[in-house]
Amino acid sequence: MAAQPLAFVTVVFESEFALLELQARSMARFLPSELAAEIVVIDNSARGMSRGRRDSLLDEYGPLRDRVRILRPRDIVRVPLATGWRSQQVLKLCVVDRLRAEHYVVLDAKNHFVATVAETYFWSPEGRLRGTSYGYRTHPLQESLVRVLDYLGVDSAVFLDRFTATVTPFALYSGEVRRMIADVTAKAGRPFAREFVTRRLTEFFLYSGWIVASGRSLDEVYDLTQAPAPAVWPKDANPAGIARAIEKSDVSPSPVFSIHRRAIASLAPDAGSALVEFWTGRGLFPDSQAARAFLDRVTREVRRAERWSGARNLPIRAISAARSVARRPR
């Protein structure tokens, strides 16, 4: 079965603007035009990107520029008061009504492509979307998985050894997302976004859990053998951590590499040198000097934006903490 073109969706906020430029540049270089039906950037920043920033970003998409739309949250759904992390999850699902493609891939700004994307990365030979699975018995997100599956009336114990991963890229069926949102809304008796935030749901667990709750197995709908993208997390922001991620990328069938903004913010100079050479070797920059200039700029921007966004979320976190206390049994 021939692979169908996909929509690509990225939600971004202030701390991630520069990383999004790298993602756009990587898509221009490595994402075949026939695989990209549309590209949607959801600007979840407080004030919105400046006109200059938008123009610079669009230029980075190169030949894919005419497929890019930049939306604001209000263009998609009214999200109740929530931290940026929670609101981004709502937007990743509710954006489906603004998409034309029958399938879409959610990216985070930390993702960028480092090799040509083959259609087999997102599609199995028989036409199922591909994804990754994890075990959750000792995983930090076990509690979130259990909470969502309990909410859906699914026995979580059955899935602790294997369930869909929550990392991006994550491919979704647009029709399934629409049906899931409609079902949750009807049963909750209130808007989907409000139910999602109030119940402290998580986007990919809810989506995959709803598929299971509808009477199908994950393997009926997905091929869960996709190679995960090598990633640099904040704890890995050192020479050894960077080297491990690069070594994995060199042998991995995944065309995606990920580096978290907080890893960038805490990156040691010697670790940054390896990253610069990696990006240059993969053709994302013409030379090491250009890659180093970009890394220095993104580091400054991330550090500055992180300080600002932390202050922005303080009132929301205080309200969320008060709500949690109010929900506890007395």
Q: Do residues 44 and 79 make contact, with C-beta atoms less than 8 angstroms apart?
A: no
Q: Do residues 42 and 76 make contact, with C-beta atoms less than 8 angstroms apart?
A: yes
Q: What is the mean pLDDT of the chain?
A: 91
Close Cβ partners of 111 (under 8 Å, ≥ 6 residues apart): 10, 23, 168, 169, 229, 256, 257, 258
pLDDT at 326 exceeding the cut of 80: no
Q: Do residues 42 and 12 make contact, with C-beta atoms less than 8 angstroms apart?
A: yes
Cα separation, 14 vs 300, whole angstroms: 12
pLDDT at 304: 86
Beta strands in the chain (DSSP E): 6-12, 36-43, 68-71, 103-108, 111-113, 129-130, 133-134, 163-164, 170-173, 222-223, 231-232, 256-259
Give the relative orientation of helices 288-327 and 269-281 as an angle to the nearest 10 degrees: 110
pLDDT at 113 exceeding the cut of 80: yes
Q: Do residues 22 and 30 make contact, with C-beta atoms less than 8 angstroms apart?
A: no
Q: What is the rounded average pLDDT of the residues 26-50?
A: 96
Q: What is the pLDDT of residues 47-70, one digit of tens each?
A: 999 999 999 999 999 999 999 999
202-233 core/surface letters (b: 16 or more CB in 10 A; e: else): bbbbbbbbbbbbeeeebeebbbbebebbbbbe
Which has more pLDDT, 322 or 169? 169
pLDDT at 86: 83
- For 15, counting Cβ atoms within 10 Å of its Cβ (0-12 exposed, 13-18 middle, 19+ buried), the class is buried
Answer CATH for 6-317 from 1.20.1110.10, 3.40.30.10, 3.90.550.10, 3.40.50.10490: 3.90.550.10
pLDDT at 306: 78
Cα separation, 15 vs 50, whole angstroms: 14
Cα separation, 20 vs 8, whole angstroms: 13
Q: What is the pLDDT of residues 176-231, one digit of tens each?
A: 999 999 999 999 999 999 999 999 999 999 999 999 999 999 999 999 999 999 99
DSSP string, 213-273: HTT--HHHHEETTPPPPPEE-GGG-SHHHHHHHHHHHHH-S--EEEE-HHHHHT--HHHHH
Query: What pTM, to 2 d.p., does this model score?
Result: 0.91
Q: What is the pLDDT of residues 262-305, one digit of tens each?
A: 999 888 878 899 999 999 999 999 999 999 999 999 999 888 88
Q: Which of helix, strand or coil describes residue 50?
A: coil
Q: What is the pLDDT of residues 242-269, one digit of tens each?
A: 999 999 999 999 999 999 999 998 888 7
